[in-house]
């Protein structure tokens, strides 16, 4: 396209230069008495006019292929633009069709998400229930173990208290004569068991 503009610029420059050179003699004779009114002046005017018209016609004839090429380029670009517009329209229609279906797709996704969330909540509830049951069983086992340990400790404490009381009672009741009688009984029993 730039080549066409340069071509036209050269053609117009050439035409302007030619017109200036053709009009130069007339401009040079401006201060002289006018011969333009004479018959020879009229003939030169008509010849000059014919030359100018011929040059303009020649310039247009020479420029005609360039105009034709330019017109063809414009026609091709219009056709390309039309094809591009049709393709864009097709894409727009496809996008609108997709957008029309997006509400249904979003609703489906929401339903799937609700079902998934419900299933997940149910799974978590079941897991929490089983965990609570495990914790309860563990707590029961700990209670039983603590109860057993407390009973053993209570028995040990009762035995200790009983032994301490028995020691206290024995100390109170144990006199030197009782000790001697016990010792003699022990020795007698040892002799009998030895035989």
- pLDDT (tens, 9 = 90+) of the chain, 195 residues, equals 445 666 777 777 887 778 777 776 666 555 555 555 667 777 888 888 999 999 888 888 887 888 888 888 999 999 999 999 999 999 998 888 888 778 788 888 889 989 988 889 899 999 989 998 999 998 898 999 889 988 899 888 888 888 888 888 777 777 788 778 878 888 888 888 876
DSSP tally for the chain: helices H, then strands E? 3, 0
Compute the distance between CA of residue 44 and CA of residue 38 in angstroms, rounded to an integer: 10
Q: What is the pTM of this model?
A: 0.32
18-31 exposure pattern, b = at least 16 Cβ within 10 A, e = fewer: eeeeeeeeeeeeee
Nearest to 29, CA basis, from 18, 16, 40, 13: 40
91-128 exposure pattern, b = at least 16 Cβ within 10 A, e = fewer: eeeeeeeeeeeeeeeeeeeeeeeeeeeeeeeeeeeeee
Compute the distance between CA of residue 83 and CA of residue 95 in angstroms, rounded to an integer: 18
């Amino acid at each position: 396209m730039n080549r066409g503009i340069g071509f036209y610029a050269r053609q117009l420059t050439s035409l302007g230069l030619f017109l200036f050179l053709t009009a130069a003699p007339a401009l040079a004779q401006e201060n002289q008495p006018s011969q333009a009114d004479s018959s020879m002046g009229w003939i030169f005017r008509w010849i000059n006019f014919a030359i100018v018209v011929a040059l303009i016609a020649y310039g247009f004839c020479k420029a005609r292929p360039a105009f034709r090429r330019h017109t063809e380029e414009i026609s091709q670009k219009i056709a390309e633009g039309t094809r591009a517009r049709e393709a864009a329209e097709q894409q727009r229609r496809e996008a609108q069709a997709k957008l029309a279906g997006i509400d249904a797709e979003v609703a489906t996704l929401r339903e799937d998400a609700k079902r998934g969330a419900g299933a997940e909540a149910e799974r978590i509830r079941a897991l929490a229930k089983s965990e609570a049951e495990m914790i309860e069983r563990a707590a029961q086992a700990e209670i039983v173990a603590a109860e057993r340990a407390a009973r053993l400790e209570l028995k040990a404490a009762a035995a200790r208290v009983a032994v301490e009381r028995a020691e206290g009672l024995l100390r109170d009741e144990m006199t030197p004569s009782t000790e001697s009688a016990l010792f003699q009984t022990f020795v007698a029993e040892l002799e009998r068991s030895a035989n």
